[in-house]
Amino acid sequence: MTTSRIIPAPGHYIIRDDVTGKVSYWQGEYHQSAADRFGTSTADYIHAMHFFLSQAQARDVLMIGCGGGTLATMLHRDGVKTTVVDLHKFSFDIAHKYFSLPKTVETHVGDGIAWLKGHRHRFDAIVLDAFHGDFVPAHLKSDQFCALVREHLAPDGLFLVNLLVLNDFDECADRLARTMKTIWPDVRVLDSLGLRDRNAIVMAGQVSQLREPSLLVRPQEDAKAIRNDLAGMKFRRWKTSRFNFGD
């Protein structure tokens, strides 16, 4: 495999397969995004969130956190109005230049909380995929933030949060589910038990009827692996306290 290493900003680099066109975006040691040459994600959790948004028939979506912008690109191709907020302009520059994020996707440089407080619009869905290193910042997992999100969701809206789970003993998804439960009656966790350093999705709102995800959009690269990974993602019971389990 012949690859190129591109440094679009200090501390950030792109690995591109010169034969297939597949690109991966790294921020230091942390992997941010991966896609085929057309910007379709090759990350299983992105396809899982895309499946849920499609199943919920969300037509107006806010994303907090850009990365490579692959979910926004896929939603745009579905005809979904997508708004993306990120702290860093270079994230949008990278997404446009290397990951095919359409210029017509609405983007805003700024803090997600401040942006929400400055707008009154209600969305069909809000997606949080914003990391500092390996972890979602604590203020984006607080009950105050969840309450702010709910104020900006339509009555049948959907809130999706991507988390990195270190192993089966890591309770970060359970803790967030407990916080969400103080705001929403319905909360679910999609996880892949037994894997280390995996992505899990914690969700709230109109989530009780959601089905476990399958592949809707086949990328040019890694489609079989993604399909297998999605098959391993299951809704699981989550701890309502340190010792008890919820739905």
Q: What is the domain-level CATH number for residue 177?
A: 3.40.50.150
Instruction: Examine residue 71 and state whether it is found in any structural domain, yes or no.
Output: yes
pLDDT in tens, 109-135: 999 999 999 999 999 999 999 987 778
Instruction: Examine residue 230 and state whether it is found in any structural domain, yes or no.
Output: yes
Instruction: Examine residue 7 and state whether it is found in any structural domain, yes or no.
Output: no
Instruction: Examine residue 214 and state whether it is found in any structural domain, yes or no.
Output: no
Q: How far apart are CA 102 and CA 72, in angstroms?
A: 9
Q: In which element (H, E) is residue 26 found?
A: strand 23-27
User: In terms of Cα–Cα distance, which of 98, 104, 102, 128 is closest to 116?
Assistant: 128
Whether residue 76 contacts residue 104, with contact meaning beta carbons closer than 8 Å, is answered with: yes
Count of structural domains within the chain: 1
Instruction: Examine residue 21 and state whether it is found in any structural domain, yes or no.
Output: no
pLDDT in tens, 151-196: 999 999 999 999 999 999 999 999 999 999 999 999 999 999 999 9
Provide φ and ψ at 32, rounded to 5°: -100, -40
pTM: 0.94
Instruction: Examine residue 6 and state whether it is found in any structural domain, yes or no.
Output: no
Q: Which domain holds residue 51?
A: 43-208+219-236
> Is the pLDDT assigned to residue 52 strictly greater than 60?
yes
> Is the pLDDT assigned to residue 137 strictly greater than 60?
yes
